[in-house]
């Protein structure tokens, strides 16, 4: 089956499909229209850009069918002021209501991760959601046990991450590890997947942003993430295969607070470099 199919009557030979192709495998003939360069089909990453950019719907793709692409009625979707307000209004939530989030709502939230950028369109992430309070407690205890071991060993990491204070808080019933969140989202991927860590960070950031629109709150579980990077215990506890690595952890639940102001941040630090190079 051909990688791309072109409706010659709709195609205006503008070459946009060729220009946006990340792999540069499409060429456009003034007479016959777009074709895949000889021998280059295996280098297609299946991103679907060539189909999405055609204003006439003239091009179809075996790996990114036009029928599976939703029409975009206008672009940009948000005006600049609304977009910036939305981005600024996102807060890291550390106060959660005790009730669980329905599984179907969590699945809807995670659907946003599918549309995040990924290196070479590799995607390839798996998301594991800890649903039960027993599971959350077990994760918390694993992390605290790891902290105690580092403190006892005099590890510089223990001082750097203020672990003694975290353990003291835990022993007093103050959860600084998972903030009493009802759920934990864990992103993992095969260890040999290129750019997987960056892909995971981008995907989880999409989740963070979309959560706001669904009435949910999130926060990066930094201590859990550090623990997972140092030890295989969390991956084993979650039943991940040996070839999978934990790449990011996100607390999620219903916020117990609502923010009414937009905190300011440090002034932008930017350098404009335009010197001539001899």
Q: Specify the CATH number for the domain of residue 168.
A: 3.40.109.10
Contact 218, 155 (CB under 8 A): no
Contact 10, 57 (CB under 8 A): yes
- Structural domains counted in the chain: 2
What pLDDT was estimated at residue 105?
98
Q: Which phi and psi angles does 222 have, rounded to 5°?
A: -60, -40
* Reported pTM: 0.92
pLDDT at 239 > cutoff 80: yes
89 and 197 assigned to the same domain: yes
What range does the domain containing 152 cover? 84-253
Average pLDDT over the chain, rounded to whole?
A: 95
Average pLDDT estimate for 45-60: 95
What pLDDT was estimated at residue 254?
98
pLDDT at 152 > cutoff 70: yes
Helix, coil or strand: residue 77:
coil
118 and 154 assigned to the same domain: yes
106 and 239 assigned to the same domain: yes
What pLDDT was estimated at residue 129?
98
51 and 90 assigned to the same domain: no
Q: How many CB atoms lie within 10 A of CB 6?
A: 19
Average pLDDT estimate for 70-82: 92
Segment 154-206, tens digit of pLDDT: 999 999 999 999 999 999 999 999 999 999 999 999 999 989 999 999 999 99
Percentage of the chain with pLDDT > 70?
100
Contact 36, 26 (CB under 8 A): yes
The residue assigned the tokens 């963070």 is: 208
pLDDT at 278 > cutoff 80: no
Banded model confidence at residue 30, pLDDT cuts 50, 70, 90: confident
Rounded to whole angstroms, the Cα distance separating 131 from 216 reads 15
Average pLDDT estimate for 113-117: 96
What pLDDT was estimated at residue 1?
59
pLDDT at 27 > cutoff 90: yes
61 and 102 assigned to the same domain: no
What pLDDT was estimated at residue 32?
86
pLDDT at 132 > cutoff 90: yes
Domain presence at residue 110: yes
Residues in the chain, how many?
Answer: 278
Q: Is the dihedral of CA 224, 230, 236, 242 positive or negative?
A: positive
173 and 248 assigned to the same domain: yes
129 and 30 assigned to the same domain: no
- CATH assignment at residue 61: 3.30.70.20
Contact 148, 181 (CB under 8 A): no
């Amino acid at each position: 089956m051909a990688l791309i199919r072109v409706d010659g009557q709709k195609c205006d030979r503008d070459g946009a499909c060729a220009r946006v192709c990340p792999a540069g495998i499409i060429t456009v003939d003034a007479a016959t229209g777009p074709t895949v360069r000889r021998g280059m089909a295996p280098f297609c990453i299946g991103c679907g850009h060539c189909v999405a950019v055609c204003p006439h719907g003239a091009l179809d793709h075996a790996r990114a069918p036009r029928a599976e692409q939703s029409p975009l009625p206008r672009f940009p979707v948000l005006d600049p002021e609304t977009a910036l307000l939305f981005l600024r209004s996102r807060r890291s939530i550390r106060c959660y209501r005790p009730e669980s989030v329905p599984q179907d709502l969590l699945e809807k939230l995670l659907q946003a991760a599918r549309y995040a950028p990924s290196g070479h369109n590799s995607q390839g992430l798996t998301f594991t959601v800890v649903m039960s309070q027993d599971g959350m407690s077990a994760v918390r205890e694993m992390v605290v046990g790891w902290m105690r071991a580092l403190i006892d060993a005099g590890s510089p990491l223990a001082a750097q991450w203020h672990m003694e204070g975290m353990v003291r808080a835990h022993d007093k019933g103050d959860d600084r590890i998972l903030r009493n969140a009802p759920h934990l989202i864990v992103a993992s991927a095969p260890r040999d997947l290129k750019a997987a860590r960056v892909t995971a960070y981008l995907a989880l950031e999409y989740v963070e942003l979309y959560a706001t629109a669904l009435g949910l709150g999130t926060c990066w579980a930094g201590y859990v993430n550090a623990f997972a990077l140092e030890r295989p215990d969390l991956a084993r506890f979650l039943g991940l295969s040996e070839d999978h690595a934990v790449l990011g952890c996100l607390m999620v639940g219903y916020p117990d607070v609502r923010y009414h102001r937009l905190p300011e941040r440090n002034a932008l630090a930017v350098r404009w470099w335009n010197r001539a190079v001899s």
